[in-house]
Structure 1
Amino acid sequence: MGVTNRMEVLMSLLTTVSDWIWNPLAYFALAVGIFFTFITKAVQFRRLPDMIRQLKDSESGDGGLSSFQTLALTLSSRVGVGSIAGVATAIAMGGPGAIMWMAITGLLGSTCAYAEAVLAQLYKRRVHGEDRGGMPYYIKYGLKAPWLAFIVALTALIGYGFVFPGVQSNNIASSAEQAFGIEPWVTGLVITGLLGVVVIGGAKRVVQVAQTIVPFMALGYLLTALLPSC
């Protein structure tokens, strides 16, 4: 079996698994969003003014983050290739109606993010003078399921350590090659170098870079979305 045939078999397998997982998951995500919207009394709309006021709070606690730093760190992991190429693909495949469903999913899904953030705060732990939390922590201490927390942590390590960076880097390299003729390996070296500078500085360096870059990144994303409609 040649390389091309193997890739076709692999893509067919991935498509089958994706359809099997994502079709029911889309309905489940909407149902969970409606559930949290109901039990929180639509917190994403009701407390919007308070959310905006909280962003003005630039003070961070001992070893913690300010509201703006938390927002910047969150947006840095959300506004990426999926927010640009993913949206374009959804519209190309599903038509203009995809915009409506993305808006509905975003509004309802924001309560899921709120619930996750609340759980992360409730079950965070102090480690070496800094706060540590997230899904593995509230699964371990909230659900009392350390085995499941280990699986989630391992899955996140693989996803955020290898899968997601590969997708982002591949799209950056492909775009740079098509637009400017830059070889992918050159783009890869630049990305690796920049990533190394950020990561070596530890968690504080990551936060500092996020709060500096994210505002410009978000502005560029909004302009990219608005300019074609002008």
Structure 2
Amino acid sequence: MLNNILSAVNDWMYTYLLLFLLVGTGIYFTIRTRFVQLRLLKESFHVLKEKAGEENGKKQVSSFQALMISTASRVGTGNIAGIATAIAAGGAGAVFWMWLMAVIGGASAFIESTLAQVYKVKDKEEFRGGPSYYMEKALGKRWLGILFSVLLIICFAYGFNGLQSFNMSSSLEYYIPGYSDTVYPMLVGLILAVGTAFVIFGGVHRIGFITSVLVPIMAGAYLLIGLYTVITNITELPKVFSMIFSQAFDFKAFAGGMAGSAVVIGIKRGLFSNEAGMGSAPNASASASVSHPAKQGMVQVLSVFIDTLLICSATAMMLLLSGVQGESGVLDGIPFVQKAISANVGNWGIHFITLSIFAFAFSSLIGNYYYAESNILFIKNNKKLLFIFRITCLLAVFFGAQADFSMMWNIADITMGCMATVNILVILVLGNTAMKVLKDYEKQKKEGKNPVFKAKDVGIENTECW
């Protein structure tokens, strides 16, 4: 009964609210910034090469490390299980809407991450920030910041991390008959909780190191398998693209139920995957040591593109080129991917997917935790509270490995939707501030300078670090 209620709320939220809010905001900022996500794409690669400064002999988080923390959170099982669920439920057309969400959402990602940099704060040698911080400093509404923090903590520390843990655990069903009725899910949960504890008790620098090493390796290997699948099935590619575009605009399917259409499912899974406009990635953006806030805004656009246009597309091609037919509630999620990859490259592909699931999901656990910790510190910077919070995060990981699939997706979707609604409304209000920052950056670039930001020069007040 509870799951039926959650499903109904979930469908209403994405069909009648977020569909228009997300797409509308992305289009609005795309036009206002004159396609900043495409226009300054080349520039974002140059920014990645910048080295971070040092504070009291301790190296700060670099732009690249901040990108990897946010990419670690984005690049999770949503890129594998989420895409399989979307295609099984909404057909191949859902892939088109995920692509469109990434391109349009890149502008929203630029705005929210630039704002996070402008209003970040300094905590000893490290920077912290995110939507809660710009809600308090720019709008003067601490209560709204606390509300957002609570939503993010529920979403990431408990909803998403429980889901990542579940997906890692369920990937072992192929190897162990009757897996869910055995003691193994509990053992997997325990191992994951211990591994997560090792990283999160080590601080932001250990998180930055783990993600900046693990993410590029796992993403690179996964993309190579995707590329191999495309090359070996190159003659089938036109047919697959035809299927994606024709099913994306299947208006007959819309009439049958908007909530189950390729549009809504594609946007929902696209948001779960790339998080553009949702207010999560700005927490990582704020941690970077850069000379100008717009630089980290551009870098976060890259993270959205890496996530959806590269990694999600790799999964989609593996599934659609396999000839295996997914079906919602029958063959979806991890089992669908495992069967498809086996059809593409043989049985060893199943083991590769299992390994990928563990690598992707574990890095997401770490990235998600980092976001949640930043928001706990916003509510109250207290060591005892932080310790208790870390223990509850580990419990979420432990119990997530033994949870119900559909309920975990519903909880994650609803809390994500609430977060996105609050954040989008706020960035629409603060859009002018981000535009001032962008104009200042472009003006300095035209003058041949390496842009350095000074808040008073552009009339922005109440900043701590500029």
Correspondences of 1:79-90 after superposition (within 5 Å) = 79-90=75-86
Q: Are 2:171 and 1:178 equivalent residues in the alignment?
A: no
Structure 2 residue identity aligned to 1:211: S
Q: Are 2:113 and 1:117 equivalent residues in the alignment?
A: yes
CA shift at 1:180, angstroms?
5.2
Q: In the alignment, which of 43, 52, 71 is matched to residue 50 of structure 1?
A: 43
Correspondences of 1:159-178 after superposition (within 5 Å) = 159-178=155-174
Structure 2 vs 1, CA of residues 228 and 180 (structure 1 numbering), >3 Å: closer, same or farther?
Answer: farther
Return the alpha-carbon distance in structure 2 between the equivalents of residues 11 and 218 of structure 1. 33
> Is the CA contact (8 Å cut-off) linking 2:25 and 2:108 kept in structure 1?
yes
Structure 2 vs 1, CA of residues 68 and 180 (structure 1 numbering), >3 Å: closer, same or farther?
Answer: farther
Aligned to 2:369: none
Q: Are 2:202 and 1:201 equivalent residues in the alignment?
A: yes
CA shift at 1:90, angstroms?
1.2
Return the alpha-carbon distance in structure 2 between the equivalents of residues 177 and 93 of structure 1. 21
> Is the CA contact (8 Å cut-off) linking 1:36 and 1:111 kept in structure 2?
yes
Higher relative contact order (CA 8 A, sep 6+): 2
Return the alpha-carbon distance in structure 1 between the equivalents of residues 225 and 145 of structure 2. 39
Q: Are 2:21 and 1:28 equivalent residues in the alignment?
A: yes
Unaligned runs of 5+ in 2: 233-466
Q: In the alignment, which of 112, 124, 131 is matched to residue 128 of structure 1?
A: 124
Alignment partner of 1:65: what SS?
A: coil
CA shift at 1:222, angstroms?
2.1
CA shift at 1:128, angstroms?
2.2
Aligned to 1:93: 89
> Is the CA contact (8 Å cut-off) linking 1:139 and 1:149 kept in structure 2?
yes
Aligned to 2:10: 18
Return the alpha-carbon distance in structure 2 between the equivalents of residues 61 and 107 of structure 1. 35
Q: In the alignment, which of 24, 27, 32 is matched to residue 39 of structure 1?
A: 32
CA shift at 1:159, angstroms?
1.9
Cα offsets for 1:36-83 (capped at 9, x unmatched): 111111111111111111222233454632121111111000011111
Return the alpha-carbon distance in structure 2 between the equivalents of residues 222 and 30 of structure 1. 28
Alignment partner of 1:178: what SS?
A: coil
Aligned to 1:192: 193
Tell me the TM-score normalized by structure 2: 0.46
Aligned to 1:219: 220
> Is the CA contact (8 Å cut-off) linking 1:176 and 1:187 kept in structure 2?
no
Structure 2 vs 1, CA of residues 87 and 126 (structure 1 numbering), >3 Å: closer, same or farther?
Answer: same
Structure 2 residue identity aligned to 1:204: H
Aligned to 1:158: 154
CA shift at 1:224, angstroms?
4.7
Judging by fraction of residues, say which structure has more helix. 1
Structure 2 vs 1, CA of residues 168 and 59 (structure 1 numbering), >3 Å: closer, same or farther?
Answer: same
CA shift at 1:164, angstroms?
1.1
Return the alpha-carbon distance in structure 1 between the equivalents of residues 124 and 203 of structure 2. 13
Aligned residue pairs, count: 222
Structure 2 vs 1, CA of residues 205 and 36 (structure 1 numbering), >3 Å: closer, same or farther?
Answer: same
CA shift at 1:220, angstroms?
3.4
Aligned to 2:101: 105
Return the alpha-carbon distance in structure 2 between the equivalents of residues 15 and 208 of structure 1. 38
> Is the CA contact (8 Å cut-off) linking 1:177 and 1:184 kept in structure 2?
no
Structure 2 vs 1, CA of residues 16 and 87 (structure 1 numbering), >3 Å: closer, same or farther?
Answer: same
Deviates more, 1:175-184 or 1:88-97: 175-184
> Is the CA contact (8 Å cut-off) linking 2:65 and 2:212 kept in structure 1?
yes
Structure 2 residue identity aligned to 1:172: M
Aligned to 2:141: 145
> Is the CA contact (8 Å cut-off) linking 2:52 and 2:60 kept in structure 1?
no
Structure 2 vs 1, CA of residues 60 and 179 (structure 1 numbering), >3 Å: closer, same or farther?
Answer: farther
Deviates more, 1:22-31 or 1:103-112: 22-31
Tell me the TM-score normalized by structure 1: 0.90
Structure 2 vs 1, CA of residues 116 and 224 (structure 1 numbering), >3 Å: closer, same or farther?
Answer: farther
Deviates more, 1:90-99 or 1:168-177: 90-99
Deviates more, 1:34-43 or 1:217-226: 217-226
Structure 2 residue identity aligned to 1:190: I
